[in-house]
Amino acid sequence: MSTTKFPWGRVLREFTIDFDGQLMSVTKFHPWVYRNCNSTGKPDPNTIHYHCEEIGRSDSSLQRLIIAWMATQNLGLNQYALVEGISRALDIK
């Protein structure tokens, strides 16, 4: 993924997490500030989000994004209720 054309914000760092050979690519970024449903083109320096291109999902919590990645790898797409339930049980915000 190119850092110059990332559509959801200003990229801080791209990294890969290796789960015994299964790789999860993550982009850490400051999301764009929106006003009246329009992007201002300026990042929010006080907010950090994480994005995983493989599952097409962003989250403000890296832990919740990892849970979503694991659920998607094992069960397929659209595991939002499962991810929210696990996150709530583990008190991940």
What number of helices (H) and strands (E) belong to the chain? 2, 5
What pLDDT is recorded for position 87? 93
Q: What is the pLDDT along the chain (93 residues), one digit of tens a residue?
A: 444 578 999 999 999 999 999 999 999 999 999 999 998 989 999 999 999 999 999 999 999 999 999 999 989 888 889 999 999 999 998
Q: How far apart are CA 57 and CA 34, in angstroms?
A: 19
Helix (H/G/I), strand (E/B), else coil: 10: strand
Question: By the 8 A CB rule, do 59 and 50 touch?
Answer: yes
pLDDT of residue 93: 83
- Residue 38 corresponds to which amino acid? N
